[in-house]
């Protein structure tokens, strides 16, 4: 990421206030944010938000009856870019918790071109596209892959802008759309996104061998999912009935997994491996039980409160993560302070003892999270062992379902790779 401006960072917007936090945290310089005017309110609130470098911009959908006037916002943005500052804008306008890019607005292009036009395209403004890809936007400690694209030189559009400003704005906006779409997981419909997730759950491990050796490890999941979606798009065009049949088979298989309280990762394992993993898992769980209980006792309530507040405060998933983050920032310190005070009053701990207790609170909380994950994994192994012993026919049927799906996906993969190879050769010719 460039370390200085004039820079306009544009990004997709799947997770409300988490998106500017994630993006700005990766920029070394001070960042100014283009924010919708509805977050501004009283005089004091306006002052606070402006100290946080927020620039309010009006949107027609916020006040349909009111005429939109963004002259002040554009002037402030021009001034920031002229002073070599960095602006962050989300050109979709609204936040959507979906793996796709919505129609983007022209404001970012108008700001960049307008600022350059005032100085005869001598400022050197760059537009940096950034793709945000969350693995689970509402889940604590889930991953986000920040995919940074190549900067767009605004001066390249000088001749087009001088000839026809409106057409130049549209052209630059289209370039941003194409760049952003290439940096994110983009599923055209909810149905295709659901199928992609189902294929990921069953087949992603088998696909890992197709990833180029030069690809960094942190990008593997992104690259695999993107190729899965491309292949779904291809087969949806050439053989839609095949896609529909596959979707039904995977849905039936996952329904059976849910009924048996299993997950796909353990179904293909042999009985000796499952047996020993169950034994080792049980031993580790027994050894870690005291620390788990300590962590659970001291962290469960502040861990639970943020999610309860988020679900009570809004029905929109896009707001869950920022609400939980904000509430958690207060809930954990307050409860830790209260628990430390109670231990001081009841047990009389002081000095290094009370400090050790305080330090143990967050660490035991993280341990409890890891312990819970191991417990769920070990439980799945126990369920599978029980099927080995008592319901071999059910397990055999489940594995046959999985084998048929894998075989069909493998065949589709070979056909798609052959198609991609022919397409590559045709383009070269």
Under the banding of pLDDT at 50, 70 and 90, the label for residue 39 is: low
Helices (H) and strands (E) in the chain, counts: 14, 7
pLDDT tens sequence across 72-99? 778 888 888 898 989 999 999 888 888 8
Under the banding of pLDDT at 50, 70 and 90, the label for residue 147 is: very high
Percentage of residues in the chain with pLDDT exceeding 70? Answer: 90
Residue 59, pLDDT > 60, answer: no
pLDDT tens sequence across 115-133? 999 999 999 999 999 999 9
pLDDT of res. 274: 76
Please tell me the distance from the alpha carbon of residue 64 to that of residue 51, in angstroms, as a whole number.
29
Question: Contact 154/125 with Cβ under 8 angstroms?
Answer: yes
Query: Which residues, 6+ apart, have CB-to-CB distance to 219 below 8 Å?
Result: 145, 147
Residue 60, pLDDT > 60, answer: no
Residue 36, pLDDT > 80, answer: no
Between these two residues, 87 and 429, which has the higher pLDDT value?
87
Question: Contact 252/362 with Cβ under 8 angstroms?
Answer: no
Where along the chain do the CATH 3.40.1130.10 domains lie? Answer: 7-183
- Please give the average per-residue pLDDT across 340-369, as a whole number: 89
pLDDT of res. 42: 64
Question: Contact 129/149 with Cβ under 8 angstroms?
Answer: yes
Residue 67, pLDDT > 60, answer: no
**Residue 21: how many other CB atoms lie within 10 Å:** 13
Please tell me the distance from the alpha carbon of residue 371 to that of residue 284, in angstroms, as a whole number.
9
Q: Which of 39, 106, 131 is nearest to 319 (CA)?
A: 39
Please tell me the distance from the alpha carbon of residue 146 to that of residue 29, in angstroms, as a whole number.
18
Question: Contact 45/118 with Cβ under 8 angstroms?
Answer: no
Residue 350, pLDDT > 90, answer: no
Decide yes or no: CATH 3.30.200.20 for domain 7-183: no
Provide the token pair at 414. 């070979």
Under the banding of pLDDT at 50, 70 and 90, the label for residue 48 is: low
pLDDT tens sequence across 216-236? 888 888 999 988 998 999 999
Q: What is the DSSP string of 185-247?
A: ---SSHHHHHHHHHHHHHHHHHHGGGS-TTS-GGGHHHHHHHHHHHHHHHHHHH-HHHHHHHH
Q: What is the DSSP string of 114-178?
A: HHHHTTTT-S--EEEEEEEEESSTTSTT--EEEEE-PPEEGGGGHHHHHH-HHHHHHHHHHHHHH
Rounded to the nearest integer, the mean pLDDT of the chain is: 86
Provide the token pair at 278. 């169950």
How many angstroms from the chain centroid is the CA of residue 180? 14
């Amino acid at each position: 990421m460039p370390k200085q401006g004039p820079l306009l960072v544009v990004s997709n917007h799947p997770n409300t206030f988490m998106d500017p936090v994630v993006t700005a945290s990766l920029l070394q310089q001070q960042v100014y944010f283009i924010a919708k005017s509805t977050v501004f309110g009283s005089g004091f609130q306006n002052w606070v938000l402006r100290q946080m470098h927020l620039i309010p911009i009006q949107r027609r959908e916020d006040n349909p009856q009111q005429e939109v006037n963004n002259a002040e916002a554009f002037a402030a943005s021009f001034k920031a870019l002229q002073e070599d500052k960095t602006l962050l804008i989300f050109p979709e306008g609204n936040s959507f918790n979906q793996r796709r890019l919505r129609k983007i607005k022209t404001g970012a292009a108008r700001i960049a071109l307008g600022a350059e036009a005032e100085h005869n395209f001598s400022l050197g403004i760059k537009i940096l596209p950034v793709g945000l890809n969350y693995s689970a936007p509402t889940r604590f400690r889930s991953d986000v892959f920040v995919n940074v694209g190549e900067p767009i030189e605004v001066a390249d559009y000088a001749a087009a802008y001088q000839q026809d400003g409106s057409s130049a704005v549209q052209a630059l906006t289209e370039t941003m759309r194409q760049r952003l779409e290439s940096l994110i997981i983009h599923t055209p419909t909810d149905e295709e996104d659901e199928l992609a997730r189902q294929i990921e759950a069953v087949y992603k491990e088998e696909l890992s061998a197709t990833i180029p050796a030069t690809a960094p490890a942190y990008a593997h999941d992104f690259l695999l999912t993107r190729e899965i979606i491309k292949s779904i798009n291809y087969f949806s065009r050439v053989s839609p009935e095949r896609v529909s049949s596959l979707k039904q088979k995977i849905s039936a298989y996952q329904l059976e997994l849910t009924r048996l309280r299993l997950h796909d990762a353990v179904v293909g394992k042999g009985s000796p491996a499952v047996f020993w993993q169950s034994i080792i898992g049980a031993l580790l769980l027994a050894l870690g039980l005291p620390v788990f209980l300590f962590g659970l006792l001291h962290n469960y309530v502040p861990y639970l409160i943020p999610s309860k507040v988020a679900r009570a405060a809004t029905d929109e998933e896009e707001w869950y993560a920022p609400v939980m983050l904000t509430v958690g920032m207060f809930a954990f310190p307050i409860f830790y302070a209260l628990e430390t005070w109670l231990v001081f009053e009841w047990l009389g701990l002081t000095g290094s003892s009370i400090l050790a207790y305080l330090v143990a609170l967050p660490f035991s909380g993280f341990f409890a999270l890891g312990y819970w994950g191991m417990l769920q994994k070990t439980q799945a192994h126990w369920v599978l062992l029980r099927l080995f012993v008592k319901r071999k026919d059910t397990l055999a049927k489940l594995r046959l379902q999985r084998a048929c799906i894998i075989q069909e996906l493998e065949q589709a993969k070979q056909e798609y790779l052959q198609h991609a190879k022919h397409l590559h050769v045709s383009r070269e010719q």
